[in-house]
Amino acid sequence: MKEIPGIIRPELQQLPQVKDRMTFLYLERCKLNRRDSAIEVMDDDGTVDIPAAAISVLMLGPGSSITHRAMELIGDVGVTVIWVGEHGVRYYASGRPLTKRAGLLLQQAKLVSNQRLHLAVVRKMYAMRFPSEDVSKLTLQQLRGREGSRVREIYRKLSKQYDVSWSGREYNPEDFFESNAVNQALSAGHVCLYGLAHAVIVALGCSPGLGFVHVGHELSFVYDIADLYKAEVTIPIAFEAASQDLPDLPAYVRRKTRDAMVEQHILERMIRDLHYLLADEEEAGEEESVVYLWDNIRDTVPNATSYRMGDTP
């Protein structure tokens, strides 16, 4: 078989650290191929070569196609690929997570599993949504009540501002058009936020199902993260859209939400906020591939070691 030209698969130590790479790169309506150690991106305007090892996450939007050779390079240099809707407003599928370590996922599982730590994360989430409130001493029930009153106040304010009747969040997941205009707009906008949150969560190697405020659903953590931004992104857009006589309300809301997420840097904020919620401290050596053995006394012990009975590292 003829040898296919290209770079030799690099050692992990040779690859740039995540902190030294570009952040999420979004591409649409283009074809991706491989040119040596670069990803060749072609569209109607021309061709651009992007160093593969300089990318953290590649988000492929509508109209994009990618060759097997490009995916081979992407896999070798540790880039995460996520297939999304326009500007991330839908999440379809993903490849490997960005990190080779499970540190953030283990931290998420630890925080979810411990009642005291779980509540601490919930308090962080509520404090982020209502920064002027001191929630450090509130119980979970008090937090829910405080959130409910603040959200109702936001709805009342926007209802008055846009002269849109509001009687509550009422919708049928099985029938989108059964609800009124403002509830349709809220549903359309929230789905866009869910898509972006889902993409960020899987890219960072976390579990979409291990939520803190929401639990029991495969997307519980997605709902948790998206809720942090609804009051400033999707809720105002929904009331503004419902105040107009639009021929295609859902499409209008999706476009407005997409543009707002870009303008307000929601993707970058999600990454930063997720680390703030989960990580004790910034992970060091994130690109290093590390495998340990679990130990019930020392937590972890070195892998690739032949132990004898009674050995203590």
Two tokens, residue 176: 């989108």
Q: Give the burial class of 122: count Cβ atoms within 10 A of its Cβ; 0-12 exposed, 13-18 middle, 19 or more buried.
A: buried
Q: How far is CA 137 from CA 122, 151, 257, in A?
A: 12, 20, 35
Q: Which amino acid is at 311?
A: D
The DSSP call for residue 247 is S
**153 and 167 Cβ atoms separated by less than 8 Å:** no
Give CB contacts under 8 A, 24+ apart, made by 14-18: 15/53, 15/77, 15/78, 15/287, 16/53, 16/54, 16/287, 17/285, 17/286, 17/287, 18/56, 18/98, 18/99, 18/286, 18/287
Distance of alpha carbon 192 from alpha carbon 226, whole angstroms:
9
What is d(CA 199, CA 85) in angstroms, rounded to the nearest whole number?
11
d(CA 11, CA 113): 36
Amino acid (one-letter) located at 175: D
What is the C-alpha to C-alpha distance for residues 197 and 222, in angstroms, rounded to an integer? 6
Judge whether 214 is annotated as a binding position. Answer: yes
Is 227 annotated in some ligand binding site? yes
**Helix, strand, coil proportions of the chain in percent (round to 5)?**
45, 15, 40
Sign of dihedral through CA atoms 28, 287, 201, 136? negative
In whole angstroms, give the CA distance from residue 95 to residue 281: 26
Does the annotation flag 68 for ligand binding? no
Residue numbers in the known binding site are 147, 214, 227
Known binding residues for Mn(2+) = 147, 214, 227
